[in-house]
């Protein structure tokens, strides 16, 4: 396993990623200007340090206490590496913007390739578009807490944004990301370089400062060994069940590294730099994510008070209350908590921007292969900036529609998060499964090749993905009611049923997977 040295070194003017792209049947249309660091920045920004952990930290902590939450990150990180390594090998062989669904089509072979590509493409599209919504929702939630603390607190008459304003913030973030994504990719790359430093430096500040500022810190035995259920709040008394639910924060946070694969047609040396960006993103988020969880957990002042609706943050956002308690206890004001919340909000902003970039690339690639209605519209490239601007705005419009139920439904974030994770991570499963069953002689390995390790790595990765998708369909609160019901199974069921019905009745007749737009043998485009 690792990067192989070419058997014969050849000096070529053409970028190796572009050469491989041509071999796969695609001409170079997007600008290939991304460096490894810029690709890593976008990939890391899509995963993000704060955006996965922060919104689900409170609920995961409530289910089973600190020990399950803390060790859950370690367990999930371990299995995530198998998924990342499996995807890095495939990315090295197929450096295309279509990434997952393109991989699925070629790995599954001519007979099953179109169907595998169809399933993977739509799962990935659903997951990425819903992913924009998760960032917009959690970013709005953080901004809601910032406004509350800036205007006082929940106890001192601070302004807690009502649902209509919350929806406006959600829509506003989505529109800003769409506008920024209509500029040339180097603009996004520059912003994402800022993002990686924002999160690394901001993460270090929070991880180091928060425990130091807190007047008291929890003991190591409490953080690493304390297990406590909350059946009065969650309605769940089964210990195995609450442990499974407490892992959700980690499973939601530790994905998104495929963003590097979506940018391979715009990355120099993508057959090497794509896999490096994928694995580096996982490594960074594994270490920093666990440190962030530990910093929050050690800094808890009063566990029960975190969820009190009469507390300073209205019991709506547990990390905000932890930050408030630390700075209020030490300095008798909330200025420090507001600054750290702004750092966290910035992470949501950068994350949403990067996911919009990835979502638009997948929609563009699928439109290029005529897999979306009105494909001719969505595959158009901006003549000046060379970005798929129409695809960007399609993603933004759908994301806004997903957020409209905020006005009436209390569990919108749970539903969008589940849809996002199931679609996004489920899309990983299709090419990985195809890699397991394909004949090895048909696989043209790239510089990063697993060799004999590929089958056990891919099997573990595939089983972990199946488990992850399953648990996000579970109810998260009991008893079940309209306000506590997890709507993800219904939404996913209706969506996938519609896609499968479309396939059986019509799409199978014309959708053949990735469509070549260059003929290498004849030298024609």
Question: How far is Cα 102 from Cα 132, in angstroms, rounded to an integer?
Answer: 22
Residue 156 DSSP symbol: T
pTM for the whole thing?
0.84
pLDDT at 35: 62
Q: Crossing angle, helix 99-150 and helix 53-64, to 10 degrees?
A: 80
Question: How far is Cα 266 from Cα 320, in angstroms, rounded to an integer?
Answer: 38
pLDDT at 517: 52
Would you put residue 360 in left (φ > 0), alpha (ψ -120 to 50) or beta? Answer: alpha
pLDDT at 522: 45
Q: What is the CATH number assigned to the segment(s) 41-509?
A: 1.20.1740.10
Question: How far is Cα 208 from Cα 342, in angstroms, rounded to an integer?
Answer: 17
Per the omega criterion (within 30 degrees of 0), is the bond before 479 cis? yes
Q: Which tens digit of pLDDT belongs to each residue from 39-73?
A: 666 666 666 667 788 888 988 999 999 999 999 99
Q: Is 320 exposed, middle or buried (CB count within 10 Å of its CB: 0-12, 13-18, 19+)?
A: buried
Question: How far is Cα 46 from Cα 254, in angstroms, rounded to an integer?
Answer: 10
pLDDT at 39: 66
pLDDT at 351: 83
Count of C-beta atoms within a 10 Å radius of residue 310:
9
Q: Which tens digit of pLDDT belongs to each residue from 126-136?
A: 888 888 998 99
Q: Are 288 and 100 in contact (CB under 8 A)?
A: no
Q: Which residues of the chain have pLDDT under 70?
A: 1-49, 95-99, 184-185, 258-270, 382-385, 409-411, 483-484, 514-525
Count of C-beta atoms within a 10 Å radius of residue 177:
29
């Amino acid at each position: 396993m690792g990067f192989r040295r070419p058997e014969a070194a050849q000096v070529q003017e053409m970028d190796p990623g572009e050469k491989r792209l041509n071999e796969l049947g695609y001409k170079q249309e997007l600008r290939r200007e991304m460096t490894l660091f810029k690709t890593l920045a976008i990939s890391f920004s899509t995963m993000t340090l704060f955006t996965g952990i922060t919104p689900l930290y409170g609920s995961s902590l409530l289910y089973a206490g600190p020990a399950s939450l803390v060790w859950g990150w370690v367990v999930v990180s371990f299995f995530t590496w198998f998924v990342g390594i499996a995807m890095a090998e495939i990315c090295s062989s197929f450096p295309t913007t279509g990434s997952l669904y393109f991989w699925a089509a070629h790995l599954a072979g001519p007979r099953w390739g179109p169907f595998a590509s169809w399933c993977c493409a739509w799962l990935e599209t659903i997951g990425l578009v819903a992913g924009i919504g998760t960032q917009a929702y959690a970013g709005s939630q953080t901004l809601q807490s910032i406004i509350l603390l800036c205007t006082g607190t929940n106890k001192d008459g601070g302004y807690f944004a009502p649902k209509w304003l919350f929806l406006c913030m959600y829509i506003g973030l989505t529109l800003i990301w769409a506008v920024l994504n209509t500029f040339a990719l180097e603009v996004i790359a520059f912003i994402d370089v800022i993002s990686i430093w924002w999160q690394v430096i901001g993460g270090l500040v929070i991880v180091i400062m928060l425990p130091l500022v807190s007047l008291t810190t929890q003991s190591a035995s409490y953080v690493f060994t304390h297990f406590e259920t909350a059946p009065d709040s969650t309605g769940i008394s089964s210990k195995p069940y609450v442990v499974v639910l407490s892992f959700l924060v980690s499973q939601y946070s530790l994905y998104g590294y495929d963003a590097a694969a979506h940018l391979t047609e715009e990355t120099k040396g993508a057959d090497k730099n794509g896999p490096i960006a994928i694995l580096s993103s996982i490594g960074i988020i594994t270490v920093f994510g666990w440190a962030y969880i530990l910093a929050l957990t050690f800094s808890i002042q009063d566990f029960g008070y975190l969820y009190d609706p009469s507390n300073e943050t209205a019991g709506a956002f547990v990390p905000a209350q932890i930050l408030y308690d630390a700075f209020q206890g030490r300095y008798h004001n909330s200025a420090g908590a507001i600054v750290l919340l702004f750092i966290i909000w910035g992470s949501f902003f950068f994350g949403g921007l990067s996911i919009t970039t990835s979502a638009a690339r997948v929609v563009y690639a699928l439109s290029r292969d005529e897999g979306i209605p009105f494909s001719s519209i969505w595959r158009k490239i901006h003549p000046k900036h060379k970005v798929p601007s129409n695809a960007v705005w399609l993603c933004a419009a759908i994301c806004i529609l997903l957020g409209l139920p905020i006005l009436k439904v209390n569990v919108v974030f749970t539903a969008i998060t589940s849809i996002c994770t199931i679609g996004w991570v489920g899309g990983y499963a299709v090419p990985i499964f195809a890699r397991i069953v394909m004949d090895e002689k048909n696989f043209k390995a790239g510089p990063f090749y697993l060799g004999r390790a590929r089958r056990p790595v891919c099997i573990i990765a595939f089983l972990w993905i199946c488990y992850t998708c399953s648990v996000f369909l579970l109810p998260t609160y009991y008893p079940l009611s309209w306000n506590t019901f997890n709507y993800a199974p219904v939404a996913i069921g209706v969506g996938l049923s519609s896609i499968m019905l479309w396939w059986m009745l019509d799409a199978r007749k014309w959708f053949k997977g990735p469509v070549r737009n260059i003929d290498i043998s004849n030298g024609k485009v």
